[in-house]
């Protein structure tokens, strides 16, 4: 995949006092690594050294971090097309709001005390639309100095809203001289967000939501869902609320603005390791951003047991980095769906599925949706929502990832299906067995380059059918008894310019005996070559 410039955009720093602290970091926190992980059933802390995303991109992908005292000045003074495209850039939009880059004024003691108080409750000098316009200018400068046609945007938290403001509003308005700006599709190749509140920040108490929108201390009113209309709609001004006639959804990125197939949202599911905000926000969150608000609709997603930031944060995590690296540079886009499901399912019992996707050689889970982390796949709801024309025509997505172009690769998808019996909204526990799934298994898939140019060969088997531990067999089908041993998956080619390879793996008989899955249930694996698509 192309080595385009990567631009990092940080999140919310709080009031001026927080801004002053954050600008002391040369890389706005994207250089931070970590030494703690949660392991075991109880989530006990253990040592694991992650060196930070900037350093890993330099060692894994040969990127360069060009500073020379001031990245922005270095760019301005460089000759056009003289800077390496495979370079890392940090957008320091908070510098203009910091007070530490100017000589301190002469103040009396009362003035100093009042100034300190003011700096703890306000964020003078920061405005999201100004930050978005500055990002547009920085991307233009980077493109001119590197000669790269586009950049990769990587953002944490509020940084994703700055990027979206640029794409959805700034790019669609003329500049100060009245000239049309370039559309986002011509500037950005891919857009990755960590824990961005794409749907705003919502609290469990309505009075807190009202206070956020009405007062918004230190500029925090930008997270009020309805006020997002003011900086995401090109015809609105900040403070405007969407008219009742408008079908405004802050989590929608208009297709004419940017292709959501080029967007990836990392969703954190660990609230316990964040600050006090986890109390009013609630458990179905990363401690600050609710799970259902942390993605753009239609974008790729990964769910990871990480908090919004801090010791166990999303940016300084192996999970975040591995998803970022594969989204930016992975050749193969893989999607896994349960297909052949019945067209209807009764309201009771409640059917849920836990999913877990892992890749051999990585010490982390790439994506995990589970009831324990407040985000299982609601099988019954998905079937009812997607409807169907009859039995056996409903598909429910369960996982997706991107794979690097390597000689040998193994990944595994764990599936567990649970049922909860309810009576008038309350669980009926008479026959309930806690944490005992109705069915559980793991599909192991081995992938290798195929004989044809750009081809792919794969072998797949359910772990329950393999005679022995999967580590003994490569490909995994060598562990199957009888005629299935050693046989590769049969791929079909889809039509169209972005042709994909598709294979269907029937679910084991125990799974197909469940009413929610049915006798025709299978796992559909779609692998798309992103090089062929471009």
* Confidence tier at 112 by pLDDT (50, 70, 90): confident
Give the per-residue pLDDT at 207: 44
Give the per-residue pLDDT at 406: 76
Please say whether the beta carbons of 173 and 234 come within 8 A.
Answer: yes
**Mean pLDDT for all residues in the chain:** 89
Q: Between these two residues, 289 and 247, which has the higher pLDDT value?
A: 289
How large is the average pLDDT for residues 325-344? 94
Give the per-residue pLDDT at 337: 97
The percent of residues in the chain predicted with pLDDT above 70, rounded, is: 91
Q: Between these two residues, 470 and 114, which has the higher pLDDT value?
A: 470
For the cut 50, the answer to whether the pLDDT of residue 495 exceeds it is: yes
> Could you give the CA distance from residue 411 to residue 43 in angstroms, rounded to a whole number?
24
For the cut 70, the answer to whether the pLDDT of residue 73 exceeds it is: yes
Give the per-residue pLDDT at 209: 57
CA-based radius of gyration for the chain: 25
Give the per-residue pLDDT at 502: 93
How large is the average pLDDT for residues 312-330? 97
How large is the average pLDDT for residues 47-56? 95
Query: Taking each helix axis from N to C terminus, what angle separates 158-168 and 128-146, rounded to the nearest 10 degrees?
Result: 80
Query: Taking each helix axis from N to C terminus, what angle separates 53-61 and 318-329, rounded to the nearest 10 degrees?
Result: 40
Nearest in space to 139 (alpha carbons), one of 328, 2, 6, 11: 6
- Domain residue ranges in the chain: 6-200+254-329, 334-533
Give the per-residue pLDDT at 107: 78
Q: What is the pLDDT of residues 434-445, one digit of tens each?
A: 678 999 999 999
Burial 156-183 (b: 16+ CB within 10 A, else e): bbbbbbbbbbbbbbbbbeeeeeeeebee
For the cut 90, the answer to whether the pLDDT of residue 42 exceeds it is: no
Element (H, E) at 411: strand 409-420
Please say whether the beta carbons of 15 and 27 come within 8 A.
Answer: no
Give the per-residue pLDDT at 428: 56
Indicate the range of 101-105, 120-124, 360-364, 402-406 predicted with least confidence.
Answer: 120-124
**CATH for 6-200+254-329 (3.40.50.300, 2.30.42.10, 1.10.490.10, 3.40.50.1820):** 3.40.50.1820
Indicate the range of 35-44, 178-187, 317-326 predicted with least confidence.
Answer: 35-44
Two tokens, residue 241: 């609320």
Please say whether the beta carbons of 310 and 274 come within 8 A.
Answer: yes
Please say whether the beta carbons of 201 and 227 come within 8 A.
Answer: no
Indicate the range of 148-152, 190-194, 207-211, 276-280 predicted with least confidence.
Answer: 207-211
How large is the average pLDDT for residues 498-502? 81
How large is the average pLDDT for residues 119-141? 91
> Quick one: DSSP state of residue 320?
H
In 175-215, at which residue ranges do the beta strands (DSSP E only) sit?
A: 188-194
Give the per-residue pLDDT at 324: 98
How large is the average pLDDT for residues 123-147? 95
């Amino acid at each position: 995949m192309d080595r385009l410039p990567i631009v990092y955009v940080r999140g919310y720093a709080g009031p001026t006092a927080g801004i002053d602290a954050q600008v002391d970091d040369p890389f706005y926190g994207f250089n931070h690594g970590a030494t703690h992980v949660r392991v075991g059933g109880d989530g006990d802390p253990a040592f694991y050294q992650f060196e930070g995303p900037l350093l890993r991109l330099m060692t894994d992908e040969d990127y360069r971090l060009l500073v020379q005292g001031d990245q922005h000045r270095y760019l301005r003074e460089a000759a056009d097309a003289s800077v390496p495209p495979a370079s890392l850039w940090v957008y320091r939009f908070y510098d203009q709001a910091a007070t530490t880059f100017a000589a301190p004024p002469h103040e009396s003691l009362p003035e100093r005390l009042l100034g300190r108080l003011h700096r703890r409750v306000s964020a003078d000098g920061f405005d999201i639309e100004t930050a978005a316009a500055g990002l547009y200018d920085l991307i233009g400068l980077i493109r001119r100095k590197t000669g790269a046609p586009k950049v990769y945007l990587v953002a944490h938290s509020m940084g994703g809203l700055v990027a979206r403001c640029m794409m959805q509003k700034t790019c669609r308005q003329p500049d100060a001289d009245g000239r049309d700006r370039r559309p986002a599709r011509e500037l950005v190749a891919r857009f990755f967000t960590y824990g961005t509140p794409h749907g705003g920040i919502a609290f469990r108490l309505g009075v807190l939501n009202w206070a956020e929108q009405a007062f918004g201390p230190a500029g925090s009113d930008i997270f009020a869902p309805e006020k997002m209309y003011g900086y995401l709609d090109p015809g609105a001004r900040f403070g405007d609320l969407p008219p009742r006639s408008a079908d405004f959804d802050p989590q929608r990125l208009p297709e004419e603005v940017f292709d959501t197939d080029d967007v990836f949202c990392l969703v954190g599911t660990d609230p316990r390791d964040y600050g006090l905000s986890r109390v009013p926000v609630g458990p179905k969150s990363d401690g600050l951003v609710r799970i259902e608000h942390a993605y753009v609709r239609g974008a790729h997603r990964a769910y990871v047991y990480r908090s919004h930031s801090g010791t166990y944060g999303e940016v300084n995590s192996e999970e975040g980095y591995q998803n970022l690296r594969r989204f930016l540079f992975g050749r193969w886009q893989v999607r896994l769906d349960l297909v052949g499901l019945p067209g209807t399912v009764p309201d009771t019992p409640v059917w849920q599925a836990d999913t877990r996707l892992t890749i051999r050689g990585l010490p982390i889970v790439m994506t995990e949706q589970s009831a324990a982390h407040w985000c299982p796949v609601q099988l019954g709801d998905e079937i009812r929502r997607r409807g169907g024309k009859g039995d056996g025509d409903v598909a429910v997505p369960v996982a997706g990832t991107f794979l690097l172009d390597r000689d040998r690769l193994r990944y595994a998808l764990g599936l567990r299906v649970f049922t909860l019996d309810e009576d008038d909204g309350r669980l009926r526990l008479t026959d309930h067995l806690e944490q005992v799934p109705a069915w559980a298994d793991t599909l192991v898939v081995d992938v290798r380059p195929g004989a044809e140019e750009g081809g792919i060969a794969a072998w797949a088997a359910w772990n329950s059918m393999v005679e022995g531990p999967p580590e003994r067999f490569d490909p995994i089908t060598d562990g199957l008894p009888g005629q299935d041993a050693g046989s590769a998956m049969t791929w079909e080619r889809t039509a169209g310019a972005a042709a994909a390879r598709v294979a269907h793996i029937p679910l084991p008989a125990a799974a197909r005996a469940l009413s929610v899955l049915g006798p025709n249930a299978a796992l559909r694996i779609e692998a798309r070559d992103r090089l062929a698509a471009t």
